[in-house]
């Protein structure tokens, strides 16, 4: 009790949410159980991360220097997975070569994640898990090339503070990947009414409608948001992370929204094409890039 109290005062973690996921932690790696939707969603998230990293590399390097087919595309990068749960995404990130840190506010999740990772001896040694809220990492000097937080934003208490924390944990030119759910009648119908109440595919009480975040709200946040000033990147904070919105849409190099649509016939998720109509009405992925440090920004032009 004391512990959760402490957590609440320090971070955006919601104690009830943690209790909920603690109950479910043993189920994380049952691919046909409570988390089957997440297991099936994982390849789509990874596809998005992969495509986006390849795309940004193509933008920065000459054509022939990019090997888009390379498996270990995250080789050498420091990657943080906030709210790693049982480690579904963390393991995938580590397999692509990332120096991965998975953190979760539920201790039992971390135990499950560590146990599962130890079963796969061919999983690279560059995967560590820590039981800590994201906010406490701000005290440490380490910053990350990629920060992922999948299906977490709709479970935190203070999304604004949470997003600021994620942003702060990135190196300049770092990538932030988020996935969450829109607050629309459709998303209520699909994720709460159908998935939790009618079909009972997802544990009842997993989602709270009022906590869902609309894509436009994320865009507006990063349209305003400037990295807090520190002496070394004082120059870069001049521009917000999304400098301009065109017809409500960001430019390809600054941010991107992609819908994820569940196809019940094939029991799989699909990554909707960029700008597909209505695709972000329910589950969606969001990518935004921290502005480069001074030297880096010059080379972008």
Partner 1 sequence: MLSVHGASRVLSRPLHNTCLNYIRRFASTSREEFDVVIVGGGPVGLALATALGSKPELNKSLKIALVEAGDLSKVRDWSPSPAAFSNRVVSLTNASQTFLQNIDSWDHIEQERTTPIEEMQVWDGVSDARITFSTSELGLPTPAEGMARLTETLNLQRSLLHHLITTPSVEVIDQSRVQSISPDEISGAWPSVMLDTGRVLKARLLVGADGPNSPVRAFAKIPSYGWSYDTQAIVCTMEHPPKGPFLGPNTTAYQRFLPTGPIAFLPISATASSLVWSTKPSLATALKACEPPVLSRMINAAFRLPEVSIRYLNNRILEAHEAGTPITDEEIRSEILWREQSHSIDTTSAYSSATVATSASSGIPPLDAEMVPPVVTSIQSGSIASFPLRYNHTESYVGEGQGSRTVLVGDAAHTVHPLAGQGLNLGLGDVECLARCIHQTVLRGGDIGSYTALLPYTQERYVENHKIMSACDKLHKLYRVSSGPIVQLRSVGLEILNELDSIKAALMMTAGSVSRTDRPLSYSSDTRAAMFGAAAKGFEGMRMAGQVLEVVKGGLVGFVGNALRNAPTTRQR
Residue 79 touches partner 1, criterion: CB under 8 A: no
Q: How far is the CB of 78 from partner 1 (least distance, A)?
A: 16
91 marked as binding residue = no
Residue 96 touches partner 1, criterion: CB under 8 A: yes
Token pair listed for 260:
């994820």
276's enclosing H/E stretch is none
**Residues ≥6 apart with Cβ < 8 Å to 283:** 41, 179, 180, 181, 182, 187, 191, 259, 260, 261, 262, 269
Residue 71 touches partner 1, criterion: CB under 8 A: yes
**Residues ≥6 apart with Cβ < 8 Å to 92:** 42, 46
Residue 118 touches partner 1, criterion: CB under 8 A: yes
Name the CA radius of gyration of the chain, rounded.
19
Specify the residue, 8 or 40, whose C-beta has the smaller distance to partner 1: 40
Q: How far is the CB of 93 from partner 1 (least distance, A)?
A: 6
Residue 23 touches partner 1, criterion: CB under 8 A: no
List, in sequence order, the alpha helices (H) in the chain: 2-10, 15-24, 36-60, 88-95, 107-119, 134-137, 159-168, 185-187, 215-224, 294-300
Specify the residue, 185 or 278, whose C-beta has the smaller distance to partner 1: 278
Dist CA 57 CA 77 (whole Å): 13
Q: Give the N- to C-terminal CA distance of the chain in Å, as an integer.
A: 53
- In the chain, how long is the greatest CA-to-CA distance? 57
Binding marks (x or -) toward partner 1, 227..266, rule CB under 8 A?
A: ----------------------------------x----x
Q: Which stretch binds partner 1 (CB under 8 A): 36-44, 169-177, 218-226, 238-246?
A: 36-44
Residue 210 touches partner 1, criterion: CB under 8 A: no
- Please, what is the Cα angle at 271 between 173 and 124, to 5 degrees? 60
Residue 280 touches partner 1, criterion: CB under 8 A: no
Instruction: Report how far Cα 214 is from the mean position of its chain's Cα atoms.
Output: 15
Among 15, 23, 42, 225, binds partner 1 (CB under 8 A): 42
Residue 158 touches partner 1, criterion: CB under 8 A: no
175 — phi, psi (to 5°)?
-105, 135
Specify the residue, 131 or 239, whose C-beta has the smaller distance to partner 1: 131
Q: How far is the CB of 23 from partner 1 (least distance, A)?
A: 11
Numbered residues of the known binding site:
45, 83, 104, 150-151, 154-155
Under the rule (CB under 8 A), what is the footprint of partner 1?
31-32, 39-40, 42-44, 46-47, 50, 67, 69-72, 91-96, 107-108, 110-111, 114-115, 118-122, 129, 131, 261, 266-273
Which residues are annotated as part of the binding site for Mg(2+)?
A: 151, 154-155
């Amino acid at each position: 009790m004391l512990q959760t109290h402490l957590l609440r005062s320090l971070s955006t973690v919601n104690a009830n949410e943690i209790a909920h996921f603690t109950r479910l932690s043993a189920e994380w790696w049952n691919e046909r159980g409570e988390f089957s939707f997440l297991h099936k969603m994982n390849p789509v998230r990874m596809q998005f991360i992969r495509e986006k990293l390849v795309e940004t590399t193509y933008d920065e390097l000459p054509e022939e220097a990019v090997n888009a087919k390379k498996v270990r595309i995250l080789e050498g990068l420091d990657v943080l997975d906030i709210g790693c749960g049982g480690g579904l995404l963390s393991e995938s990130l580590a397999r692509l070569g990332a120096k991965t840190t998975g953190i979760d506010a539920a201790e039992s999740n971390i135990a499950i994640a560590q146990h599962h990772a130890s079963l796969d001896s061919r999983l690279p040694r560059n995967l560590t898990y820590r039981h800590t809220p994201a906010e406490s990492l701000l005290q440490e000097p380490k910053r990350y090339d990629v920060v992922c937080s999948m299906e977490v934003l709709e479970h935190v208490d203070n999304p604004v503070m949470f997003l600021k924390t994620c942003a702060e944990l990135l190196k300049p030119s770092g990538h932030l990947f988020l996935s969450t759910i829109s607050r629309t009648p459709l998303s209520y119908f699909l994720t709460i009414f159908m998935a939790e109440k009618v079909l009972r595919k997802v544990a009842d009480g997993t989602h709270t409608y009022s906590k869902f975040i609309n894509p436009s709200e994320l865009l507006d946040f990063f349209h305003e948001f400037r990295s807090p000033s520190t002496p070394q990147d004082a120059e870069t904070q001049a521009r917000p992370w999304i400098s301009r919105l065109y017809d409500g849409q960001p430019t390809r190099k600054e941010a991107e929204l992609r819908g994820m649509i569940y196809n019940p016939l094939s029991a799989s998720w699909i990554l909707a094409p960029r700008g597909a109509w209505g695709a972000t009405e329910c589950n969606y992925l969001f990518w935004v890039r921290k502005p480069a440090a001074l030297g880096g920004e010059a080379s972008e032009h």
